[in-house]
């Protein structure tokens, strides 16, 4: 206490502000891990981690921003309780708070970018699934049409196919049903859809 209460305030405030640095480094490390996870194996837990980090960063912002202004005033304004030689220390705390605020804003941008990346990766995966389902559906559509159109009994004579035996009609129908998806596959492959 020989330096005065203003210096004691500086020491306490400096210790508090510096205690945020390891937390910020830990959050930065978590953001890096989540970014890697987004590309490797994004899960529902990934989204929860992203939102958790967003909440933490928002809480930190709410704490840091007002304190920054307080220490700016303590460093620049003329208060009788603060010795002029100690103002430089409060300016130091103010600089630390400005730095913390800037880091916090950068981390918030990174977390928002990570969320956008997560949504893009999930949308791309969903598009791949939809593409596969559309291809499978297109393979079975002609078969469904043919079986619906030729939904007949092969053991009875068919109008217009006089002279054909039931076995011949069955073989032609099966050939068409198997041939159409194969032709469609090669056509889709030629268009680079598959």
The three-state (H, E, C) secondary structure of 52-67, written as one string: HHHHHHHHHHHHHHHH
Q: What is the mean pLDDT of residues 72-84?
A: 81
Instruction: Select from 150, 141, 138, 139 the least CA-distant residue to 174.
Output: 150
What are the structure tokens assigned to 106, written together?
């950068």
What's the chain's length in residues? 194
What are the residue boundaries of the structural domains of the chain, listed by start? Answer: 5-125, 129-190
> Tell me, which fold does domain 5-125 have in CATH?
Methane Monooxygenase Hydroxylase; Chain G, domain 1 (1.20.58)
**Percent of the chain beyond pLDDT 70?**
89
pLDDT tops 80 at residue 169: no
In which band, very low, low, confident or very high, does the pLDDT at 7 lie, cut at 50, 70 and 90? confident
- Structure confidence at residue 84 as a pLDDT band (50, 70, 90): confident
Q: What is the per-residue DSSP string for 139-169?
A: HHHHHHHHHHHT-S-TTS--TT-TT--HHHH
- Whether 85 has a pLDDT exceeding 60, the answer reads yes
pLDDT at res. 115: 94
- Measure the CA–CA gap between 87 and 108, rounded to whole angstroms: 31
pTM, whole model, 2 decimals? 0.68
Tell me whether the CATH fold assigned to 5-125 matches the one assigned to 129-190.
yes
- Looking at residue 184, its pLDDT comes to 85
Supply 30's token pair.
């978590």
Give pLDDT, residue 117: 93
**CA separation for the pair 91, 71 (Å, rounded):** 7
Q: What local confidence, expressed as pLDDT, does residue 121 receive?
A: 92
Residue 3 clears pLDDT 60, i.e. is over it: yes
What number is the average pLDDT over the span 125-141? Answer: 87
Short-list 14, 17, 34, 33, CA closest to 103 = 17
Contact 108, 54 (CB under 8 A): yes
Beta-carbon contacts of residue 53 (< 8 Å; ≥ 6 apart)? 27, 30, 31, 34, 107, 111
Q: What is the mean pLDDT of the chain?
A: 85
Taking the C-alpha atoms of residue 150 and residue 175, their distance in angstroms, rounded to an integer, is: 13
Instruction: Out of 1.10.3470, 1.25.40, 1.20.58, 3.40.1000, select the CATH number for domain 129-190.
Output: 1.20.58
Give residue 192's pLDDT band: very low, low, confident or very high (50, 70, 90): confident
Helical (H) or strand (E) element with 78: none
- Residue 152: pLDDT band (50, 70, 90) is low
d(CA 164, CA 156): 11
């Amino acid at each position: 206490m020989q330096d005065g209460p203003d210096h004691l305030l500086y020491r306490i405030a400096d210790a508090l502000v510096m205690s945020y640095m390891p937390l910020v480094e830990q959050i930065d490390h978590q953001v890096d891990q989540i970014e890697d996870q987004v590309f490797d194996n994004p899960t529902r837990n990934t989204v929860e981690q992203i939102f958790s980090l967003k909440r933490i960063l928002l809480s930190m912002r709410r704490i840091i921003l007002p304190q920054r202004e307080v220490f700016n005033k303590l460093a620049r304004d003329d208060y009788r309780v603060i010795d002029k030689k100690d103002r430089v220390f409060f300016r130091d705390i103010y600089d630390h708070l400005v730095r913390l605020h800037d880091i916090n804003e950068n981390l918030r941008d990174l977390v928002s970018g990570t969320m956008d990346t997560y949504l893009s990766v999930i949308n791309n995966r969903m598009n791949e699934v939809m593409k596969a389902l559309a291809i499978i559906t297109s393979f079975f559509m002609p078969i469904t049409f043919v079986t619906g159109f030729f939904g007949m009994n092969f053991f009875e004579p068919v109008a217009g196919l006089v002279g054909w035996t039931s076995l011949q009609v069955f073989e032609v129908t099966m050939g068409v049903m198997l041939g159409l998806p194969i032709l469609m596959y090669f056509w889709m492959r030629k268009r680079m859809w598959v």
